Every structure is written in C-alpha cells, then in structure tokens.
C-alpha cells in the first residue's frame, strides 16, 4: 500500500493551508487506487508536520510513502529542510520506503500548463 | 501585440530567480506567435520589478499585457501586492490593456499535473 504526502510551506493564513488540504483531497479523488491516502503536511506554521503526516499514512497501513514538495523553487526548504524532516520519519520507520520526488517547480509539464492557461481565451 | 509577464516573489538566492527567468524563456519558446515576449518580473528582492517588466513589454510594442502570478496560494502578495504594482503600470500606460490572470495554485490542471507526476513510475 502506497500513500502520497503533499508537503507545503505552511502559512499563518489558514485559508492557504486549507487550499493545500483541498488540493490533496482532489488528488486523492483522481488517483484512485494508486494511493491509499493523499495527505497534506507542512514544513512550518500548520499541522500536521512532515513526520506526523508520514506517520499517519504508515499507521493506516502504507508500506511506501511518496513525499511531494509543493514548492516552486529549489531553495533551502526543498534542499535541506524537507529531507531533514523526512529523515526523522525514516528513522522511526525502518523497513518503510519513503521517497522524495522532484518539487513542483522542477516539473517540465508546468511550462505546458502555464502556456495553455495563459493562451486560452 | 500581446506579451506575458510571469510574476514571481523573488529571492535572495539568485538561482531561484534564474529558475523563473528560465521558465519564462521556455514558455516563450512554446507559445510561439501567441506572445511577442514572455518576461519574468519580481515582487521583491530581484529585478525587474513588476511595473518595469510590464513597461519593458510595452516599450517593445505590446498593446496588451497578461500578468501571471507564479504563486501557489492566494495570500497577501496575490490579493493585494501584485494588483497594486500592476496598477502603477496601468496609470503610466493608459490605452494599454493589462490583465492579471489566475495564479498558478488556483489552476484546476495543477491537480492533474501532480497526479500524473507522482503516479508515473
């Protein structure tokens, strides 16, 4: 069983955190059987933390967790902070495969997405 | 003639700003005739500013400028700061149509993009 954790920065503005939670629900709805669960987690300022979000998935039966950084650039958060938080979850869960995939801003397809969106209409 | 300005927050880390400039070049390459120019601009910490980026497009002949907020959530920057900066450009350029389109995080297709990316492989 595989789960996905969408990691956002977290904001003092609750509506921003809820946007990420809503995004996670939408992704869970369309990925169907691929992921048992799609969970939002936050680096700071909102709950759950990254280790807690991962742990939640594992407690519900995940044997593999994909961590997706919902970030636009490869700053310190993506390069250092998220891997450090994920490492905490790995140490608590030997035998579970926890993998960080490339962050949002690095996806080739984001170029197509923006091109399509800004040229339609 | 229509141009596109991709507005990012801006970072002290030059590589992050360059990521946005590179993204703009890639979008310019694939949108072809749709935009005469695709230009990166920054809310703070990097150049050009939003009014300067828009002005650059107008000086090169744009009669219409689309402003795309490269932001993930509808925080103060998207709701207040970017519109205020765009207003400066509008006041300097009566007769030019300058339009702000929905920010990146609000696009429906971002859900599909993440779903595809995290389930492949």
DSSP A64: E
Mean pLDDT score of chain A, rounded to an integer?
A: 94
A42 part of contact set with chain B, CB < 8 Å: no
Residue of A nearest to B25 (CA): A111
- The answer to whether the beta carbons of residues B37 and B57 sit under 8 Å apart is yes
> Whose CA is closest to B66, among B31, B23, B20, B100?
B100
Which residue in this structure is represented by tokens 């993930």? B72
> Whose CA is closest to A25, among B71, B114, B70?
B114
pTM, two decimal places:
0.90
Domains of chain A listed by start with CATH number: 2-119 (3.40.50.1400)
Catalytic site residues of A? 9
Res B96: pLDDT:
98
Q: Which residues pair with B3 in a beta bridge?
A: B37, B65
Res B33: pLDDT:
86
- The answer to whether the beta carbons of residues B76 and B84 sit under 8 Å apart is no
Distances (CA, A) of A44 to A14, A50, B85: 12, 9, 29
Smallest CA–CA distance, residue B8 to chain A, in Å, is 9
Res A30: pLDDT:
93
Confidence of residue B121 (pLDDT cuts 50, 70, 90): low
Write down the ipTM of this complex. 0.86
Q: Mind listing the pLDDT tens digit for each residue in B29-71?
A: 999 889 999 999 999 999 999 999 999 999 999 999 999 999 9
Neighbours of A106 (CB within 10 A): 16
Alpha-carbon span B10 to B43, nearest angstrom: 6
- The answer to whether the beta carbons of residues B72 and A70 sit under 8 Å apart is yes
Percentage of chain A modeled with pLDDT above 70 = 99
Alpha-carbon span B106 to B102, nearest angstrom: 6
Res B14: pLDDT:
93
Does residue A121 have a pLDDT over 80? no
End-to-end Cα, chain B, rounded Å = 42
Residue of B nearest to A12 (CA): B75
Measured in whole angstroms, the distance separating CA B88 from the mean position of its chain's CA atoms is 16
Tokens representing B80? Answer: 């207040």
Note if B56 is an active site residue. no
Cβ separation A27–B116 shorter than 8 A = no
B79 part of contact set with chain A, CB < 8 Å: no
Between chain A and chain B, how many beta carbons pairs sit less than 8 Å apart?
110
Phi first, then psi: give them for residue A67, nearest 5 degrees: -110, 120
Res A108: pLDDT:
83
Alpha-carbon span A54 to A68, nearest angstrom: 11
Q: Mind listing the pLDDT tens digit for each residue in A35-69?
A: 999 999 999 999 999 999 999 999 999 999 999 99
- The answer to whether the beta carbons of residues B70 and B57 sit under 8 Å apart is no
Q: Which residues of A touch B118 (CB under 8 A)?
A: 4, 27, 31, 35, 66, 68, 101
Confidence of residue A89 (pLDDT cuts 50, 70, 90): very high
Smallest CA–CA distance, residue B71 to chain A, in Å, is 8
A36 part of contact set with chain B, CB < 8 Å: no
Res A107: pLDDT:
87
Alpha-carbon span B99 to A102, nearest angstrom: 32
Res B28: pLDDT:
95
Does residue B82 have a pLDDT over 70? yes
A30 part of contact set with chain B, CB < 8 Å: yes
């Amino acid at each position: 069983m595989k789960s996905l954790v969408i990691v956002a920065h977290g904001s003092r503005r609750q509506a921003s955190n809820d946007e990420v939670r809503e995004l996670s629900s939408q992704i869970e709805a369309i990925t169907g059987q691929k992921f048992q669960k799609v969970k939002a987690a936050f680096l700071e300022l909102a709950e759950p933390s990254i280790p807690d979000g991962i742990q939640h998935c594992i407690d519900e039966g995940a044997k593999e967790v994909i961590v997706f950084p919902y970030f636009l650039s490869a700053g310190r958060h993506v390069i250092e902070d998220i891997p450090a938080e994920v490492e905490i979850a790995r140490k608590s869960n030997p035998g579970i495969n926890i993998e960080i995939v490339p962050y949002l801003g690095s996806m080739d397809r984001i170029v197509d997405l923006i091109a399509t969106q800004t040229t339609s209409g």
